[in-house]
Chains A and B, each alone.
Chain A
Amino acid sequence: MLESILAVLETILVIFIGALEEGLVYAVMALGVYITYKILDFPDLSVDGTFPLGAAVTATLITKGVSPILTLLISFVIGAFAGMLTGIIHVKFKIRDLLAGIIMMTALYTINLRITGGKSNVPIFMQKTIFNNSFLNGMPEEVQPYLVSIVLFFIVLLMKLLLDLYLKTKSGYLLRAVGDNEMVVTALAKDKGITKIIGLIIANAYVALSGSVYAQKSGYFDIYTGTGTMVMGLASVVIGINLLKKVSFVKATSAVIVGSVIYKICVAIAIYFGLETSDLKLITAVLFFVILVASNDRKRRAKSNA
């Protein structure tokens, strides 16, 4: 009797740790989506391309022997560049936000394949990564199961604190203003277009970094990992912010991270009860639909193009 209870508890713990890890991997991406969707009021679909972009860059560089930590930085920078292009397409060429993202997402599919040299799958199981190196492998046996979560926790914490700090700067104030009421930005004699581009740069840098972490944790790059990234990020943002909006001391950025983990726990439970991994996208879509209806977040402000 006791043994079976322990076995159940252990299963729950394993599922929980797995979901926690997954949630933390995607949390950095969710922070990026938070910047575009909540702060900029810009539904940025290029995320579906910049997430695998980070993964493709990372997997390719790691197979070439580049330091795993350096790949995080490189992914961040390349993601920023992709975000800048989305911004320029939207602002300078006056293409609607959703379409600008779709253009970028579509283009990145090819770019990602070019980066990997045409391979839609690049395994890095045997390579040194931020989760698989002599330092972490030398840690005591007892902490081994939690190491991945700990490493992820520090990455997420660092990225969250950086974002919190940025949002308190003058540049950060301006970013919040452009999503809140862009006429104020114009009234401040600032170009609202440039401000939007800056927001997209930061957001996509975060998303590509998340993709890099994802590739290193899962041990491979796959061209299809990007599909549905944005919806997953949106789900995390909406779950987190709506669940925790009554708790005044929790910052929105923390809420987004919690949202990402909760979302992954929901998915893990669904899979535990017999749903296939191939059902995941449908679950995501349905879950997201239900959340949007329940939170009535569909109401979007009328906005002009760029």
Chain B
Amino acid sequence: MTARGGRRVMLELNKITKYYNPGTVNEMCLFNDFNLSVQNGEFVSVVGSNGSGKTSMLNILCGSIPIDKGSIHVQGSNITNMPEFKRQRKIGRVYQNPAMGTCPNMTILENMSLADNKGKAFNLGWGTNKKRIEYYRENLRSLGLGLEDKLDVPVGSLSGGQRQAMALLMVTMSPIEFLILDEHTAALDPKTAELIMELTDKVVKEKQLTTIMVTHNLRYAVEYGNRLLMMHQGEVIIDASGEEKKHLRIDDLLDKFNQISIECGN
């Protein structure tokens, strides 16, 4: 275990090069010698127009897409060639689509049981540990959505906001080091988005998670987190942390967006 809160490097992307459709007329170089390092305990918001490479960066980090050159280190160990599922041991990821983080045909209780067992063996023991049900209830109650009384309801019948809240709860239930939020409020109505954002902030602070949040909501990017990146065509064009981040305003970001004359995504 790394000492939490210490200024140690959590993530390092070194000289990442990524081509899409290599060898065809549609060949496109997204990243060319891309570098990024994230310190332990940082909460990084990432903004940028469509196609700027935000989600690709997350996919590269999680191993969902391969890279052509470069290396990825998490806590000093090289994970460049580690398959996606193995990387997830230390990573929790919440997607834009609320349907992606839960099993729709399984009940809330079954989904919670699955998440609770992450990192342990999926053997022939009972899928649901009855002794843990009260704990799941408490966790669900903290969401304030009334899910604690619906343990036997299939998750597919919940609303998008409820499912996203569950997805967030599920990825942060087991001890992870790293939280990846991929526009996780973008598919929700403004009120629910607000709720999920508050929950996110609470969880990140409580568990002291290193977090990367991609968002099109400039207000969230400015308000939450302690570092802000703006990306454009595979490069970081704003990297503000500490005092600089605190003084950053939405208008500053909008100006930059206009400056690069690309329509704002929000």
Contact = CB atoms under 8 A, between A and B. Distances in A.
Interface residues of A, number: 22
B132 interface: no
Contact of A192 (B85, B86, B114): B85
B6 interface: no
Contact of A181 (B99, B113, B115, B171): B99
Q: Is the interface of A mostly helix, strand, loop or mixed?
A: helix
A190 interface: yes
A184 interface: yes
A176 interface: yes
Interface string B59-91: 000000000000000000000000111111100
Interface in B110-142: 110-111, 113-115, 117-119, 121-128
B126 A170 contact: yes
B104 interface: yes
Contacts of A281: none
Given A172-B127, A173-B113, A181-B100, A188 B106 contact: no
Contact of A180 (B84, B103, B117, B170): B103
A187 B86 contact: no
Given A181-B99, A181-B100, A188 B125 contact: no
Contacts of A180: 103-106
Contacts of B102: 181, 184
Contact of B123 (A170, A176, A184, A189): A170
* Most chain A C-beta atoms within 10 Å of own C-beta, residue among B87, B100, B117, B127: B127
Given A173-B114, A174-B114, A184-B114, A190 B122 contact: yes
Nearest to A174: B122
A186 interface: yes
A192 B83 CA distance: 12
B53 interface: no
Contacts of B93: 187
A17 interface: no
A177 B126 contact: no
B101 interface: yes
Contacts of A170: 117, 121-127
A171 interface: yes
Contacts of A174: 114, 122
B153 to A, nearest CB: 13
Nearest to B95: A183
A176 B105 contact: yes
Nearest to B99: A181
A42 B92 CA distance: 27
Nearest to A194: B85
A174 B127 CA distance: 9
A176 B110 CA distance: 10
Contact of B115 (A176, A183, A188): A188
Of B104, B125, B126, B170, most buried by chain A (CB within 10 Å of CB) is: B126
B122 A171 contact: yes
Contacts of B113: 173
Contacts of A173: 106, 110, 113-114, 117, 122, 127
Given A188-B88, A189-B85, A169 B127 contact: yes
Of A176, A187, A190, the most chain B CB neighbours within 10 A belong to A187
Interface string A109-124: 0000000000000000
A183 B83 CA distance: 14
Contacts of B171: 187
A10 interface: no
Contact of B88 (A168, A169, A181, A189): A189
Contacts of B89: 189
Contact of A187 (B101, B105, B127): B101
Given A169-B124, A169-B127, A174-B114, A189 B103 contact: no
A171 B121 CA distance: 9
Contact of A183 (B100, B105, B114): B100
Interface of A: 166, 168-174, 176-177, 180-181, 183-192
16 contacts: A170-B117, A171-B124, A172-B127, A173-B114, A176-B110, A180-B106, A183-B95, A183-B101, A184-B101, A187-B118, A187-B170, A188-B114, A188-B118, A189-B87, A190-B85, A190-B122
